[in-house]
Structure 1
Amino acid sequence: MQARLDPWNANSQAMNAMLNLENYLQDSSLEYSICELVRTRASQLNGCAFCLQMHTSDARKAGETEERLYLLNAWREAPVYTPRERAALAWTEALTLVAKTGAPDADYEQARQAFSDRELVDLTLLIGAINSWNRIAIGFRSQPAVTPTGLQSSAV
């Protein structure tokens, strides 16, 4: 697969607007671990290799365990996630797959129980942002920063 377009060179103003949202989210009260789990789970659902590599790498650097990353695709059955993380993951799936799910009331209520109103807005923005990043990366065929041997590459 070959990269199609560098969105940063094509429209830095738009990409910087996306970064401004990311900067806001970074300063929100959402736990970094939840943010990376949400980003990784949405990227799994969307099949975004670029974002999966980035966010699993960032999560590991921040202390996330291999076990929790490996089990993320089966989080409902895995006992390693907190109720707050489970609520975030359910809301992530509901909104990432919104055309199929319609954002079920049960997932919304679970999120309402685990997050304040402000946090729920931030979580929803986080989910929307990673879905946008996935679409940018997939649409323009951004390449993950790994080689076939798994070693970090200097070119992205």
Structure 2
Amino acid sequence: MEGIRFENTRFDPDLIEFHGIAQQMARSVGYTADLNIEKKLAQLLRLRVAQMNECSYCLILHTQAAHDQGVPAAKVAHLPSWRESTMFDEPEKAALAYCEGLTAYDLPGFAPLHEALTAHFDEKQIAEIAAIVINMNLWTRLKLAQGQVPVLDG
């Protein structure tokens, strides 16, 4: 994230050791964790949560992480319209639907979203998908609450 720094505009989450709690979870399912699901899919899920929650910090970080994982730029650009894009395969679509359902949870019928995953992923992979989405929701909400905003250097 060259040329960008981040500033807190609301509060420092370390006042209550919040970062420590979040970092503990990130070690298990964050973008540097060793998981059973494909790394590119994990990055798409993280980035989709960041998009849905409009977290500047997470959008910048996870767009770069997706690039670093080899996710094509066009696929990243089409992520908000994954339902209409032919760039996403059926397992990715099932995982993205689940991701959106778990993030927004105002979608009717969450159970079918979970059931759709079982056609493409085993139980451990489904647990990882859920944990990735939950972890990203924690981080996006933390960054939004603390008011972390990007500032261009120079």
Would you say same fold, with TM above 0.5?
Answer: yes
Aligned to 2:141: 135
Task: Trace 1:99-114 onto structure 2 (pairs within 5 A).
Answer: 100-114=106-120
* Deviation of 1:70 (Å): 0.5
After superposition, the CA RMSD in angstroms is 1.9
Q: Which of the residues 18, 21, 34 maps onto 1:17?
A: 21
Percent of residue pairs identical: 25
Task: Trace 1:24-103 onto structure 2 (pairs within 5 A).
Answer: 24-25=28-29, 26-98=33-105, 100-103=106-109
SS state at 2:148 partner:
coil
Q: Deviations over 1:15-68 (max 9, x none)?
A: 223222222121221211111100111111111111011100111122111100
Structure 2 gaps of 5+ residues are 1-6
Normalising by structure 2, what TM-score? 0.85
SS state at 2:9 partner:
coil
Aligned to 1:120: 126
> 1 or 2, which has the higher strand percentage?
2
Q: How many residues align structurally?
A: 145
* Deviation of 1:103 (Å): 4.9
Q: For 2:103 and 2:108, how far apart are their aligned partners in 1?
A: 10
Q: Deviations over 1:117-152 (max 9, x none)?
A: 1111111111111001010001111123x52xxxxx
Normalising by structure 1, what TM-score? 0.84
Q: For 1:47 and 1:111, how far apart are their aligned partners in 2?
A: 25
SS state at 1:120 partner:
helix
Structure 1 gaps of 5+ residues are 148-152
Q: For 2:19 and 2:146, how far apart are their aligned partners in 1?
A: 13
> 1 or 2, which has the higher helix percentage?
1
* Deviation of 1:2 (Å): 6.0
Q: Please say if residues 95 and 103 of structure 1, whose CA atoms lie closer than 8 Å, have aligned partners that are also in contact.
A: no
Q: For 1:48 and 1:63, how far apart are their aligned partners in 2?
A: 22
Q: For 1:131 and 1:103, how far apart are their aligned partners in 2?
A: 20
Indicate how the Cα distance of structure 1 residues 73 and 107 shifts in structure 2: closer, same or farther if over 3 A, else same: same
Aligned to 1:150: none
